[in-house]
Amino acid sequence: MTHRSRLAGFIIDCKDAPIEESARFWSAALGFTIDDPNEGGEGKYAVLGGTPSDLHIEVQRVDHDSRVHLDIETDDIEAEVARLLALGAREVSRPHDARWVVMQAPTGQRFCVVRMKQPGKGATPNVWRAGD
Q: How far is the CB of 105 from a second copy (least distance, A)?
A: 6
CB of 61 to a second copy, least distance (A): 10
* C-alpha pair distances (Å), 117 with each of 66, 73, 120: 26, 8, 9
* Pairing mode of beta strands 2-15, 56-62: parallel
Q: What is the CA radius of gyration of the chain?
A: 15
- Which of 30, 95 has the CB closer to a second copy? 30
Per DSSP, the three-state class of 124 is coil
Instruction: Choose between 29 and 97: whose C-beta lies nearer to a second copy.
Output: 29
Question: Measured from the CB of residue 89, what is the shortest distance to a second copy in angstroms?
Answer: 7
Q: What are phi and psi of 80, to 5 degrees?
A: -70, -40
CB of 126 to a second copy, least distance (A): 3
Residues of this chain that bind a second copy (CB under 8 A): 5-7, 10, 12, 14-15, 17, 21-22, 25-26, 28-32, 51-53, 55, 59, 65-70, 72, 84, 87-89, 105-109, 111, 122-123, 125-126
Nearer to a second copy, 33 or 97 (CB): 33
Question: Burial of 87 by CB count in 10 Å (0-12 exposed, 13-18 middle, 19+ buried)?
Answer: exposed
